[in-house]
Amino acid sequence: MGVPTGFHTLTTYLVLDDAAAAIEFAERAFGATRLLRLTRPDGRILHAEVRIGDLPLMLADRPAPSSTGADPTTSTHGPGFGIHVYVDDPDAAIDRAVLAGAVLLDPAQDTDDGERRGTIRDPFGCTWWIATQRVARTRPELQRLFDARSR
């Protein structure tokens, strides 16, 4: 499988202070179409996907500050911009990235959304979600899974 239908090997991922406003802007300015919107109980967006033309864009709200006072922008999500990359073997790709100087944030693991995915931060501060699709799930199915988990 590898890359979900309708996506490309590389997908831009924005981590913002107001992802909902960014989605509305993309709809008004560029005719973006909403594909998926997973919202936390506090109303912030955990993960959203829109399509502008033939390209998907992933977005999320910046995480809340941690109890340790660490800045979540730099400690876990870099400068607010990341890349979601689909590869055949995320474990091997993460190992290569770490050997090349990346910091491992999350080791690859199988996820409820059908991906095997891990996260690294490159030496320049950019976050990379490295994944392969193992189970194809529709956007409505993903929404139902998230809603059931959030209850």
DSSP states of the chain:
-BS-TT--SEEEEEEES-HHHHHHHHHHHH--EEEEEEE-TTS-EEEEEEEETTEEEEEEEPPPPPTT---HHHHTSTTSEEEEEE-S-HHHHHHHHHHTTPEEEEEEEE-TTSEEEEEEE-TTS-EEEEEEESS---HHHHHHHHHHHH-
* Closest CA relative to residue 82, chosen from 62, 96, 67, 54: 62
**pLDDT digit string, tens, across residues 89-123:** 999 999 999 998 899 999 999 998 899 999 998 87
pLDDT of amino acid 48: 95
Residues 60-70 have pLDDT tens digits of: 998 876 544 44
Q: What is the pLDDT of residues 18-59, one digit of tens each?
A: 899 989 888 998 789 999 999 998 899 999 999 988 889 999
Predicted pLDDT at 74? 46
71 pLDDT above the threshold of 60: no
Of the pLDDT bands very low, low, confident and very high (cuts 50, 70, 90), residue 78 is low
For residue 49, the model assigns a pLDDT of 94
Give me the domains of the chain, ranges plus CATH numbers. Answer: 10-65+73-146 (3.10.180.10)
DSSP structure class, residue 2: B
What's this model's pTM, rounded to 2 decimal places? 0.68
pLDDT above 70 covers what percent of the chain? 89
